[in-house]
Structure 1
Amino acid sequence: MELRQLRYFVAVADTGGFGRAAESLGIVQSAVSTQIGRLERQFGVALFDRGTRRTVLTGLGEALLPQARAVLEAADRTRALAAALADGNAGLLRLGPVRGPRTARLLHRLADQTGAFRVTLRHVPAAERLRLLRDGELDAAFVRGAPAAPPGTSLLEAWRDPLYAAVPAGHPLAARPVLTPAELAELPLRLAGRTANPPFHDLVTRLLRAAGSRPPAGPRFTTLPETLAEIASAAEPSWTLFYEVTGLPDFPGVAVRPLAGPASTTWLAVPEGPPSPAVRRLLAALADLAG
């Protein structure tokens, strides 16, 4: 059974004749007759009573007609969905995100009111995001810092976020509106170990080295709230740096100041080669945000 046979069957039923069906389909009558005959032989039933003035459905033909219409409608929906998938107007994007306001704006821009395009998120550490991308379990992944692209993937710069330094509110540096790495060179730095966040750790050490600043190591960074509490209360002054995720913290005893020069780059990791329709839609949304 072929879709065209069902289409011819429905056309004859709707027009009441092989000639009129052929005219509506833009083909010759013999083609319609041949395909209907084949369909009847495949089904083992007569679909039409072929009279001299009008061709009418048999009882069995009437019973089969709703199903034939349903099959053709399903085929049309499938073709329309395939076209939408190819254009990026439908489908599924499996994304490894980073936290922050830019990600929220991007997801809002990707949202489709019809629900034809969906995004599923995998909230896992950066190294795991890249592994899932390499293994084909993600279509794209965002990573911050200075990551290394896994084999078979490419890194595209998505955006840059400023870095902020947090120092004790009573320290002389808190009086400055903007801080530089050189000014912080003598103050112990609270930085998480490299295993906790390799891209960000590498970014910080690289940026400080490029600025000629080598601050002594302070106590380890744990979480931002805990680290800010320790900066505010410790007898020995220290500092830490971070990028904005959910707004800048307003913590008693701590002064947050922009760090001049360095920025945290967020990269989009995608498979090498031509982008899929879902990734093309993601790239278009990123371009809209940048523009």
Structure 2
Amino acid sequence: MELRQLRYFVTVAEELHFGRAAERLNIVQPAVSQQVARLERELGLQLLDRSSRHVRLTGDGERMLREARAVLSAADRAGEVAAELASGRSGVLRIGTAPGLRDRLERGLTALRAHTPDLDVQLSSGTTAEYLSALRSGELDLAFVRGEVAAADLRVVELWRDPLSVLVPAAYRSDDGVKLIDLAGLLLRLPADDAWLRGRLESACREAGFEPLIGRPIDDFESAVVEMSTGSPAWTVVYGTACEAAAGALWMGLLNPPATAPGNLVTGPGTSECVRVLVSAFGSEPPSGP
């Protein structure tokens, strides 16, 4: 049984005339007759009572008409859903996120839901390397990552830039910005999973004239802040200009000279409507926080 046969049968049943059904289907009449007859043979049922003067549904035909319409309706809906998924207008959108993007994400997802109310968004966290792998395997649809991204097989769009701020012992506070050379004697602690930030800071320190003293990697930022506040003096770098943990023994401020990090949207080579909406939303009114 083919969908084509069901569609021909339903059209004949509605017209009760093979000629008019053929015109409506925009095909020749013999093709309609052959396909309906083949359907009857496959089902082992007589669906239509034919004579030289009329075409009528049999009892079996009336029952099959209801079922055939239901099947065709389901098939048409499946086609519509597939088209929506292919265009990014419906379904599930899986997004990899980066820390400190709450304001931007809320603005972007609000815009998405206004554009596509039925869209189901799933957020996940991970490293840049994990995101790139997931994008290539199809486990993610898009991801927001900071830092330079080298991936020729993926589409990378820079949407924003974050200032790089230092979190240092309060004694190193400087309203003009902290110079890296002044931090040469302190341990530098950086996130364990942020290779771009580590490379950027190590390079900047060398340009400033010293080799950074790399301390234990940061696995949990809040725990690291407690350790830095109560233990050996150390410094770190965060994205943005706001940090609730910067109080008491620690101070947070900008670098001198200032430095920034790119914020990127990474996706496959195709451009969906969801990507265009997010690009527009992320590019407007950046928040004051990180």
Coarse TM-score class (shorter-chain normalised)? 0.7 to 0.9
3-state SS of the aligned residue for 2:282?
helix
Residue of structure 2 equivalent to 1:133: 135
Unaligned 5+ runs, structure 2: 285-290
3-state SS of the aligned residue for 1:138?
coil
Deviation at 1:227, TM superposition (A): 3.5
Q: Which residue type is aligned with residue 199 of structure 1?
A: W
Query: How high is the sequence identity, in percent, across the aligned residues?
Result: 37
Q: Distance in 2 between matches of 1:42 and 1:135?
A: 42
For residues 70-219 of structure 1, the aligned pairs below 5 Å read 70-101=70-101, 102-111=104-113, 113-115=116-118, 117-146=119-148, 148-149=150-151, 152-153=153-154, 155-169=156-170, 171=171, 173-174=172-173, 176=175, 178-182=176-180, 184-186=182-184, 188-192=186-190, 195-210=192-207, 212=208, 214=210, 217=213, 219=215
Residue of structure 1 equivalent to 2:61: 61
Q: Distance in 2 between matches of 1:32 and 1:227?
A: 75
Q: Which residue type is aligned with residue 132 of structure 1?
A: A
Change (3 A) 1:109 1:206: farther
Is the contact made by 1:92 and 1:119 (CA closer than 8 Å) also made in structure 2?
A: yes
The structure 2 residue matched to 1:225, chosen from 219, 222, 226, is 222
Change (3 A) 1:46 1:190: same
Deviation at 1:153, TM superposition (A): 4.3
The structure 2 residue matched to 1:258, chosen from 254, 257, 272, is 254
Give the stretch that moved more between structures: 214-223 or 98-107: 214-223
Change (3 A) 1:203 1:142: farther
3-state SS of the aligned residue for 1:120?
strand
Q: Which residue type is aligned with residue 120 of structure 1?
A: Q
Q: Distance in 1 between matches of 2:8 and 2:237?
A: 71
Q: Which residue type is aligned with residue 131 of structure 1?
A: S
Q: How many residues align?
A: 279
Q: Distance in 2 between matches of 1:135 and 1:23?
A: 47
Q: Distance in 1 between matches of 2:111 and 2:203?
A: 33
Is the contact made by 1:153 and 1:270 (CA closer than 8 Å) also made in structure 2?
A: yes
Change (3 A) 1:247 1:40: farther
Deviation at 1:264, TM superposition (A): 2.2
Is the contact made by 1:159 and 1:266 (CA closer than 8 Å) also made in structure 2?
A: yes
Q: What's the RMSD between the two structures over aligned residues?
A: 3.4
| Alignment partner of 1:6 is 2:14 | no
Change (3 A) 1:233 1:44: closer
Unaligned 5+ runs, structure 1: none
Deviation at 1:266, TM superposition (A): 2.9
3-state SS of the aligned residue for 2:99?
coil
Deviation at 1:75, TM superposition (A): 2.0
Residue of structure 1 equivalent to 2:287: none
Q: Give TM-score, length-normalised by structure 2.
A: 0.77
Change (3 A) 1:8 1:128: closer
Q: Give TM-score, length-normalised by structure 1.
A: 0.76
Q: Distance in 2 between matches of 1:87 and 1:33?
A: 37
